[in-house]
Amino acid sequence: MIDPNPLKLRPDVAIVPLTTKHAPNMYRWMSDPLIRSNIGLRSEPSLERTIAWITNALHDPSACPRAILLGDRHVGNVVLDRIDNYIATARLSVYIGESIARASGIGRTGICLALVEGFQQMGLHKVWLTVHSRNFHAMNTYARLGFALEGILRDEFWFEGQRIAAFYMGLLRDDFRQISPDLHGEHVVR
């Protein structure tokens, strides 16, 4: 029997445009040393900086920031940025800020919904990302969604006081189409 949901996407997850109302959650998450180190945050977080980042991203035509919702609860973010309309590419970044929402398919579903938006609605040809070499859970998620390792960036990331490698991974629209289920219906991109 063919699995109708091979990526195990969650029907209770949606993505919505990120707004300044999401700033308090983001600031709280950025104050968590685990999240800060995994995303490579270089400065001390503040609510003012978080609001400024959101405001700038909302006015940047090369960015598409989204909040990941579990039901109506904001649990993380997924962003397509560095959008290059000429070559139809964008960079993906994602994090789940709420610890109870990690390792449960919420991030995978949020990424998949952002990819659908990028490939189907924005007409992207390729989405790429970098991930540090110790973030095994993220690398497995990206591989499961079809991202291929395209390069190793030696000593590219500063993590827990050490230089470590980062991996450059990419996903082409046609590759995603082959592995993605029909995402219309219960999955929502609002």
80-137 pLDDT tens trace: 999 999 999 999 999 998 888 888 899 999 999 999 999 999 999 999 999 999 989 8
Q: How far apart are CA 92 and CA 79, in angstroms?
A: 6
Structure-model confidence comparison of residues 130 and 5, the more confident one:
130
Residue 126 lies in a domain: yes
pLDDT of residue 94: 94
Residue 40 has pLDDT above 80, yes or no: no
pLDDT of residue 8: 78
Residue 6 lies in a domain: no
* pTM for this predicted structure: 0.88
pLDDT of residue 89: 98
Residue 46 lies in a domain: yes
**Number of domains, the chain:** 1
Residue 64 lies in a domain: yes
Query: Per-residue confidence at 182, pLDDT binned at 50, 70, 90?
Result: low
Residue 128 is inside which H or E element, if any?
strand 126-132
Q: Which domain holds residue 116?
A: 13-189
Residue 167 has pLDDT above 50, yes or no: yes
Residue 3 lies in a domain: no
pLDDT of residue 103: 82
Residue 1 lies in a domain: no
Residue 151 lies in a domain: yes
Residues in CB range of 125: below 8 A, 6 or more apart: 87, 88, 89, 172, 173
pLDDT of residue 41: 78
Residue 10 has pLDDT above 80, yes or no: yes
Residue 32 lies in a domain: yes
For residue 19, the domain's CATH number is 3.40.630.30
Q: What are the two backbone dihedrals, phi and then psi, of residue 175, each rounded to the nearest 5 degrees?
A: -65, -40
- What average pLDDT score do residues 39-66 get? 92
